[in-house]
Structure 1
Amino acid sequence: MDGVLIDNTPYQARAFQLLFRDLGLTTNARRLLARLNGMPATNILKTVFRNPVPEKQLKEYASQREFLYRTLYWTKRREMPGLRPFLEAARQAGFKIGLGTGSAPETIGYIIDHLDLRRYFDAVVGKADVERGKPHADTFTAVAAKLRVPPEQCVVFEDAVLGEQAAYKAGMRVVAVASSLKAKDFQAPMAVIKDFTELTPERLLELLQSQPTAPKPDKQRAQRNYMKL
């Protein structure tokens, strides 16, 4: 959802930065999200403290960050350019469409219901629906199960390195959305787009034929991006 349906990563980073300032931390939120974006906020927060922090406290910090993000983004909510026409064309072409995100139900609704996008999705899977979020494959495999589509027939749109790795772990191919990262930051997507004005369902079918199987996940890349802070 974040960075794919909407271009909100700068607001997410700003919310994290304000939280870090309040906590007396000097972590650079933009660089942090470039490596860990797509993970649940509590998991991201675990990486910025030198000593272990109780889960209850992490959840409180995550709630504070969510409040800051919503305040900053309240009047800025808008879909990625070309998204709605692409979704409409994809449905007309017979594609099943699912949303897999690390966000909680209320955060999902904050975006897709406000923008009236829920009607385009045959399945929605969020943080509350899986035990393990990205970089694990659970979110994407749960979406595929709800859609009743084999993983090898699924394409994941991802803006994050760890999300791309999660897709490959699920046996799915990827179209990278370079809303906050550069094309070189991704491992092996079928294509890299800036937004959905650059893609059609017909072009997507051509890409699927050009890359018949999903790449193997690059464990070293995923580990490097996860650990290097």
Structure 2
Amino acid sequence: MDGVICDTNPHHSLAWKAFLKKFEIVATEDEFIAHMYGKSNSYILKHFLKRDVIGDEFIAMEFEKEALFRQLYEPEVIPIAGLLAFIDDLKANGVKTGIATSAPVENLELILSKLPLADKMQSLLSSSDVIHHKPNPEVYLKSAANLGVLPENCVVFEDSHSGVSAGKAAGAKVVGVLSTYKKEELPVCDDYIVNYKEMSYEKIKSLFES
């Protein structure tokens, strides 16, 4: 979802900066690129606070930071260019689709309240639906099971190193979305896009014919 459906990472950066300021922690953009984008909140908190954050403390900290994000992003939710038309093309050709995000379910609900996607998805998974977060493939294996499709017959769209790694570990084809990282900064993908303007059902189909 983040960086794939919507380019949310700039707003996540703003939210993390505001949250970390309480602890007198000033993070650089390079640190966010290395340790925030595509990472789970448990990893991010552990990295920046230099300790494990678990249990009720983690729940409270995560909710506070994500509430900041939702407050900042709610007025500005827009999809990455061409996404909605691409999904309509997939649905017209009978393709099953789902969202598999490391974000909290409240963030998923925010995006679905703003974009016409909910009725086009046959699977919706967020951080609370898995035990192991990306780069572990659990969320994609569960998505494939929900869709009734073998993982090797799925295509994952991902913008982060951990996400691409998760998709590949699941055995799926992976399309790298270059909203956050450059092509050379991601693991090798089956294809790469900047946005969805040139993406289509036929291009997806061709990934399985080459």
Query: Could you tell me the TM-score, scaled by structure 1's length?
Result: 0.86
What residue in structure 2 maps to residue 167 of structure 1? 167
What residue in structure 2 maps to residue 226 of structure 1? none
Q: How is 1:119-138 mapped onto 2 (pairs within 5 angstroms)?
A: 119-138=119-138
What residue in structure 2 maps to residue 184 of structure 1? 184
What is the number of equivalent residue pairs in this alignment? 210
Task: Report if aligned partners of 1:3, 1:9 keep a CA contact under 8 Å in 2.
Answer: yes
What residue in structure 2 maps to residue 156 of structure 1? 156
Indicate the percent of aligned positions where both proteins have the same amino acid: 28
1:102 aligns with 2:106: no
Task: Report if aligned partners of 2:38, 2:162 keep a CA contact under 8 Å in 1.
Answer: yes
Residues 101-110 or 6-15, more deviating: 101-110
1:93 aligns with 2:93: yes
CA RMSD, Structure 1 to Structure 2 (Å): 1.6
Residues 51-60 or 4-13, more deviating: 51-60
Query: Could you tell me the TM-score, scaled by structure 2's length?
Result: 0.93
Change in 2 beyond 3 A, CA 1:127/1:54: closer
Change in 2 beyond 3 A, CA 1:164/1:94: same
1:80 aligns with 2:80: yes
Question: Equivalents in 2 of 1:180, 1:58: separation in Å?
Answer: 26
Q: How is 1:13-92 mapped onto 2 (pairs within 5 angstroms)?
A: 13-28=13-28, 31-92=31-92
Task: Report if aligned partners of 2:45, 2:53 keep a CA contact under 8 Å in 1.
Answer: no
Task: Report if aligned partners of 2:155, 2:173 keep a CA contact under 8 Å in 1.
Answer: yes
Aligned residue for 1:192, secondary structure, equals strand
Residue by residue, what CA displacement relative to the aligned partner does 1:168-195 show, whole Å, maximum 9, x if unpaired?
A: 1111110010111111111111111111
Task: Return 5+ residue gaps in structure 1 as ranges.
Answer: 211-229
What residue in structure 2 maps to residue 195 of structure 1? 195
Residue by residue, what CA displacement relative to the aligned partner does 1:29-62 show, whole Å, maximum 9, x if unpaired?
A: 5532444433332332111122344432232222
Question: Equivalents in 2 of 1:22, 1:128: separation in Å?
Answer: 26
Question: Equivalents in 1 of 2:206, 2:116: separation in Å?
Answer: 29
Task: State the Cα distance separating 1:26 from its structure 2 match.
Answer: 2.5
Residues 156-165 or 100-109, more deviating: 100-109
